[in-house]
Structure 1
Amino acid sequence: MNNASIKDVAKLANVSTATVSHVLNETRYVSETTKIKVYQAMKELDYQPNLMAKGLRSRKSNIIGLIVPMLYSDTSNFFFMSIANGIETYLKQEGYNLILSNSHEDFETEVEQIKLFNSKLIDGLIVAPTGKDITQYENVFSNEYPVVFIDRIPEGYTGDTVLADSKQGTYQAIKTLLEKGHEKIGFITGYLGLTTSDDRLLGYKEAFLEQGLSVNPNLIKEGEPSLDSGYEIAKQLVKKENVTALFIANNIMTMGALSFLNDHKLRVPDDVALIGFDDYDWMKVTTPPISVIKQPSFEIGEKAVNLLLKRIAEDKGARNERIVLSTEFVIRGSI
């Protein structure tokens, strides 16, 4: 319906025309739920507000959106905040501002936030996606601004992306453990299906296969990314599988695994060697300090916004660049 009016939008959204006007012009507070209803009605009716509003879209706002998946229970939120810091630091140098939004690791929430950004006057969007397949994003993003994905890649996505090389870092860590004589190495991870988790598992397997060793599926354990889950999985691997080393693919589960080892008076690394993922201050002050795979979080933010601003300047052309940054295996006293 190309001749839809503001009254048609109001009727479909079951709100007043004044409410639609306030949503379009941001002249009064409107709840997020109501905004989404209005935007969905506009999209369904193919409603174009007016030439002035359309003209606004052609002007630069110098505002960039960022959506990251942070959970209150996961201390690895520091990783995404470090990325945001890298983005904002670079943006300020270029005269831009940042709007940060949290999807709480929930896809539906992420989609709602993307739609809200679609209605705002932003120049570009950076997203750490929660969706596992790019088909989930069909008709979600606006074509009026460029998008860069960070940290993760939904299956089938070929657009601009900035990642850390989780696979290579994990491979190097497991290879080192194997060279030290460990063969029963437990692998603890949060839910698989995200490229970050899957790549770390690939690195684990590749190190074994390269040494001509078989991969024991009983030593690979997946669970909720929480302290309690890390504790219980470490208990299973140490008590039942008699592992001599643990590789934990995220920060919060590393805390849980270490808590189990401490509670049971198991010495690191004499009884069980330990490697975590991501480098946090607490890992440096344990006894002994914990070996880790360190991700270049600040640099991920810098590279992502640099790529996004390049797309904004070009305003057209291919948008399929993939930047993969090296991780660093930091060896400390836990192996």
Structure 2
Amino acid sequence: MASIKDVAIKAQVSTATVSHVINGTRFVAEETKDKVFSAMEELDYRPNRIARSLRSRKSYTIGLLVPLVAEDTSNFFFMSIANGIEQVLKDNGYNLILSNSNEDVDTERDQIRVFNSQFIDGLIIAPVNGEDCNYEKELSGDYPVVFIDRHPAGLNGDMILVDNRQGTHEAVTTLIKRGHEKIGFITGSLGITTSDERLEGYKEALENHQLPIDENYMKEGPATFQQGYQLAKELHEAKVTALFVANNVMTMGAVSYLQEKEVKVPEEMAIIGYDDYDWMKITSPPLSVVRQPAFELGKAAVEQLLKRVEGSQDEPVEIMLDSELILRGSC
């Protein structure tokens, strides 16, 4: 196994410089850092993290807690967030521990308690957003926390969010400008801030164009393929001419229904989905979507968390990232 001395020889620097680069204990020029990191990679050198933790009183480990559900393809969204987080952590010498709340409040509390018993430097969490959540009680560890994607009610802390209302408003406005007045809205369970914000964006777009808000055109159900299929069927039978589907898995179900019934898209039914995945580009026609900047959200979250880990005492921040309407052939 390579040693720190081997890295120093390879990078043509002193062992002290290698140590400073690894531990961040002194300023080192970027060019020198690059030489050290390149040498470490070539030699497959791994610092002794236990010794490093004892010296610095840091574990160089960050926790990530997200609500993954087996049948929900939005898991790709959270994995994209994790990729953004990992990229920044790798550049800064940190590791990531991923945990799953399974969209369940009790499981979420249990997982936070597990993190409290471990030696982590910080936690990034996409909250379940249950009505009875009491994060002040569970988050009692002496580490900073950054919330992502969802805004827990009554909590003042660092938040990195996506403007769901703006993205939905833009999408529905586009449908209106293309001549649609009967626009159906399909959503997963409400009560989660992301779902609620998308519904608000839908209603605001209708109101801004003096169109009535018809409760019969708004369909809510569990975020599953089957519900997307069923709710698209109900709205098709209600004679809507366009659909906005507020999550990816229900979009799949809605598209499946339209294809099975040979509904012409967009001539007979226009449709815009949420999130942007490869399958949406190969439907016939390709699907218009609201894209969330998942990777960028992960990077912004961990950059804010590392500021806290390094001792920043600034006021809590709320960063709102823009979503993006991507128009293809379905509307």
TM-score bracket, shorter-length normalisation: 0.7 to 0.9
What's the offset of the Cα at 1:72? Answer: 1.0
- 2:278 paired residue among 263, 278, 281: 281
Cα distance in 1 between the residues matched to 2:121 and 2:296: 21
Change (3 A) 1:120 1:58: farther
How many angstroms apart in 2 are the aligned matches of 1:119 and 1:177? 50
Of 219, 230, 235, the match for 2:233 = 235
Could you say which residue in structure 1 is the equivalent of 2:212?
Answer: 214
Cα–Cα, structure 1 residues 333 and 60, in superposed 2: closer, same or farther, change >3 Å?
Answer: same
Compute the RMSD of aligned alpha carbons. 1.6
Equivalent positions of 1:1-335 (< 5 A) are 59-133=57-131, 136-239=134-237, 241-314=238-311, 316-318=313-315, 320-335=316-331
Q: Secondary structure at the match of 2:137?
A: coil
String of CA shifts for 1:211-233, please: whole Å, max 9, x gaps. 12221111011001001100110
Partner Cα distance (1:61, 1:148) in 2: 18
Cα pair distance change 1:134/1:326, threshold 3 Å: farther
Letter in 1 for 2:69: L
Q: Is the 8 A contact 1:57 1:121 kept in 2?
A: no
Distance 1:195 1:132 in 2: 10
- TM-score normalized by the length of structure 2: 0.82
**TM-score relative to the length of structure 1:** 0.81
Would the aligned equivalents of 1:134 and 1:155 in 2 still touch at CA under 8 Å? no
Q: Shift of the alpha carbon at 1:326?
A: 0.4
SS of the aligned residue for 1:203 comes to helix
Letter in structure 2 aligned against 1:85: N
The code of the aligned residue for 1:334 comes to S
Task: State the SS of the aligned residue for 1:246.
Answer: strand
- Counterpart CA distance in 1 for 2:197 and 2:243 is 17
Aligned-partner Cα distance in 2 for 1:290–1:279: 9
Tell me how far 1:314 sits from its aligned partner: 1.8
Per-residue deviation, 1:56:
6.6
Report how far residue 131 of structure 1 moved: 2.7
Residue in 2 that maps onto 1:47? none
Label 1:299 to 1:117 Cα distance change in 2 as closer, same or farther (>3 A).
same
Any gaps of 5 or more consecutive residues in structure 1?
1-54
- Pairwise CA distance, 1:193: 0.5
Instruction: Give the structure 1 partner of residue 14 of structure 2.
Output: none
In 2, the alpha carbon distance for the partners of 1:317 and 1:56 equals: 27
Q: Aligned pair count?
A: 279
